[in-house]
Amino acid sequence: MEAWLDTYLREVAATRVRPVTLDGYRQLIRLHVTPELGRHRLDQLRPQQVAALYRKLGTTLSPSSVRRVHAVLRRALTVAVRWGLIATNPALMVDAPSMRRADIVPSTVSKARKLLDVASGDRHEARWLIALTLGLRPREVLGLGWQHVDTERRLLTSTAP
């Protein structure tokens, strides 16, 4: 497995994903997959071993992190099937951990006012006002530019006018 995962990262993933994504794949495999499955023969890997990996990772990682491990392992093994190295992909036979939805707790009016009072006069005051007024996430607000402002109609849009 370790040799195959190295080959997959070098010959397949490196040609298909951005460098930062590849670095993330390498880290997931190095920290989580190789220590548990690296010594197994690729053609003898079983769904039970993959499931055991996910259970173990679930004790220390968030469900979303285990799902990322699942996605990378599943893709690497899918390529191994296509290359004729294994007959079936054991990761396809194991469900990824389910995600729990976090409850969204909106800010109270008094907390929003307090935030705006603190931000008053700060160079980011408009950012906080827009975020609170429109319910935008931080990156959505930071992604706005002058092309999103229609001063004639007094309108802010996510697309340029």
Residue that is written with structure tokens 């491990």 in the block: 69
Q: Which residues contact 156 (CB under 8 A, 6 or more apart)?
A: 130, 134, 144, 148, 149, 150
- What is the model's pLDDT at position 137? 85
Over range 9-15, report the average pLDDT: 96
CA distances from 127 to 133, 138, 155 (A): 10, 8, 15
C-alpha span between 87 and 47 (Å, rounded): 13
Q: How far is CA 8 from the centre of its chain?
A: 20
- What is the model's pLDDT at position 103? 73
Residue that is written with structure tokens 């935030």 in the block: 115
Least confident of 16-25, 27-36, 96-105: 96-105
Q: What is the mean pLDDT of the chain?
A: 92
Over range 17-39, report the average pLDDT: 97
- What is the model's pLDDT at position 160? 60
Model confidence band, residue 48 (pLDDT cutoffs 50, 70, 90) = very high
The percent of residues above 70 in pLDDT, for the chain, comes to 97
Count the helix, strand and coil residues of the chain and give each as a percent rounded to the nearest 5: 65, 0, 35
Torsion from C-alpha of 8, 11, 16, 22, nearest 10 degrees:
60
Tokens of 53: 């990996």
C-alpha span between 157 and 129 (Å, rounded): 15
pLDDT tens-place string over residues 132-151: 988 888 888 888 888 888 88
Query: CA triplet 96, 6, 40: central angle to 5 degrees?
Result: 65
Tokens of 3: 């040799």
- The pTM (predicted TM-score) of the whole model is 0.66
Q: How far is CA 156 from the centre of its chain?
A: 29
CATH hierarchy code of domain 2-93: 1.10.150.130
pLDDT tens-place string over residues 77-114: 999 999 999 999 999 999 988 877 767 788 899 999 99
pLDDT at 161 over 60: no
Query: Where are the chain's structural domains?
Result: 2-93, 109-156
